[in-house]
Amino acid sequence: MSKIISQETFDDVVQENVVEFAMSPSEAKEETIKQFEAQGINLVNIIKDLAINPDTGKPVINETVAKIQNHINEKNEDKAQLTELLAILDQECKKSLAHRVLAGKLGAHDALVQLLEQTLAVEPLETELLYKCLQAVNSLTHKQPDLYDPKAMGVVLQLLALENQLEVACLTLQWLQKACIMHEMNRQSIMASNAVQALKPLLVKANPRLLRELTAVLRFLVLDDDIRVEFGCAHEHARQIANELLLELVELLPAYEDVNVLADLMLTLGTLTVRQELCTVIDDAGGLKIIFDIMRNNLNEERLNREALKLLRALAGHDAVKAHIVQQGVAPIIKQLIETHQTNENILTAALACITTLTLRVKEHSEAFFETGIAEIIVEALRQHPKNKILQRNGAWAIRNMVSRSRDQCDTWLSFGVEDLLNAAMVEHPSVAQDIKAALRDLGCNVQLREEWTGTAEKKIAA
């Protein structure tokens, strides 16, 4: 079994080589590594690329955290020195996760939260110091959400309540985002702290950057990515946030022209629309017309339209809203999108999935799409992207749903050569063969169906 040492032991030997033998930091680290490897010690757990202070031989990150802690305890008034220390800590934490873990073990998170508390308690507000401290705590918390605690939550609520502090608000929201990722308990504690009510006033600030950071927080609060928790609260969180903010988010759509802001808003709306009654809230607020207008005005924008199509699929979970989507004229818009983005696999995949959802088991919807002449456009999309399995599968789904209750369409589809394309796709992508066979079957084509079970029952089934 390999012998190992602690980081402190490694750092002490590096310091000794610098101070006692006048080595440069790089020479000291190289010599230390050779010494321990010669003794058969495994250094896999050691951070070997720590920046070293050439005068003291100590790691810069250790010294920086210690100086910040001393500065707080002694209530030092030298703000310039403190700002410089925070900048150094920020840079060190950005280097790697190992650096951030070390800083956390050294007490950096508690020190930064305490410093934020002290800064918020002083009038007038030291904005620059607050900004540097938030930058450092963001870098420290990145991929390290376990550091976030109730004390930090209290500070976040104070920061969100500040007036006319755009940069501080954006950094605070980024801190919340990092605390949510891969951490269910943090998400639950944030929701329990009435953070949503604290976020609500920020929606009306009419700042695109602030809105994008805010909507990201809302989406991260409904993640379900923590494997340490058997059952998360993503659905309940989405319901709670939607009850508070869904209508306000819909009303923000006409207020912006920035396609990135609009895409984020639609992505957030789609993420929060997890219940049927929420679909009707968006519909009753005139959301469908707003979404259609945005799509018509931005046909060339890939991400915006992809998120719009996903949102429409989410809204179609309510049958009445699904009918309104088609009745209010979505079919010509989706046809235009497919025509415009024939070479864009992402848009085509999303558009075909949307058609699949909207035409499922509703003959009138199928006819509305078919009358636009979309059949030929869909076949051409399949022809241009034979290697994309998901696109071919979604195309088969869309065709199946359109013809399953409208067999009079079959001859038109077949006249465009769809049978050969689907047969080729079945050979190219055997994992989705059953989906493609379903489309061929409903088109009236000859399909070789495989009998899934050919065994003999142990007991005869009674007549």
What is the per-residue pLDDT for 463? Answer: 53
Nearest to 7 by CA among 98, 79, 70: 98
Number of structural domains (the chain) is 1
Residue at 54 is within a domain: yes
CB atoms within 10 A of CB 24: 12
What is the per-residue pLDDT for 418? Answer: 96
- 77 or 349, higher pLDDT: 349
Q: Is the peptide bond before 25 cis (omega within 30 degrees of 0)?
A: no
pLDDT in tens, 366-395: 999 999 999 999 999 999 999 999 999 999
Torsional class of 286: left (φ above 0), alpha (ψ -120 to 50), beta (otherwise)? left
- How far is the CA of 142 from the CAs of 95, 225, 360, in angstroms? 11, 16, 43
> DSSP class of residue 3?
B
- Residue 461 pLDDT grade (very low, low, confident, very high; cuts 50, 70, 90): low
> DSSP class of residue 460?
P
What is the per-residue pLDDT for 165? Answer: 92
Mean pLDDT, the chain, integer:
94
What is the per-residue pLDDT for 229? Answer: 92
What is the per-residue pLDDT for 451? Answer: 65
Residue at 288 is within a domain: no
Distance in angstroms (rounded) separating the CA atoms of residues 441 and 401 = 12
- Residue 76 pLDDT grade (very low, low, confident, very high; cuts 50, 70, 90): confident
What is the per-residue pLDDT for 458? Answer: 72
Average pLDDT over residues 170-175: 97
pLDDT in tens, 175-234: 999 999 999 999 999 999 989 999 999 998 779 999 999 999 999 999 999 999 999 999
pLDDT at 151 over 70: yes
Q: What does the block give as tokens for 129?
A: 């110091």
Residue at 27 is within a domain: yes
Residue at 409 is within a domain: no
What is the per-residue pLDDT for 402? Answer: 97
Q: What is the pTM of this model?
A: 0.91
Residue at 318 is within a domain: no
> Which residue range(s) make up the domain with 52?
1-58
Q: Which of helix, strand or coil describes residue 209?
A: helix
pLDDT in tens, 319-375: 999 999 999 999 999 999 999 999 999 999 999 999 999 999 999 999 999 999 999
CB 45 within 8 A of CB 4: yes
- Contacting residues for 47 by C-beta, under 8 A, at least 6 apart: 7, 96, 98, 99, 102
CB atoms within 10 A of CB 431: 8
Distance in angstroms (rounded) separating the CA atoms of residues 151 and 184 = 17
pLDDT in tens, 294-308: 999 999 999 999 999
What is the per-residue pLDDT for 75? Answer: 80
- Residue 452 pLDDT grade (very low, low, confident, very high; cuts 50, 70, 90): low
pLDDT at 104 over 90: yes
Residue at 22 is within a domain: yes
CB 328 within 8 A of CB 289: yes
- Residue 453 pLDDT grade (very low, low, confident, very high; cuts 50, 70, 90): low
- Residue 462 pLDDT grade (very low, low, confident, very high; cuts 50, 70, 90): low
Residue at 145 is within a domain: no
Q: Give the dihedral of Cα atoms 37, 40, 41, 44; nearest 10 deg.
A: 70
Average pLDDT over residues 110-117: 96
Residue at 48 is within a domain: yes
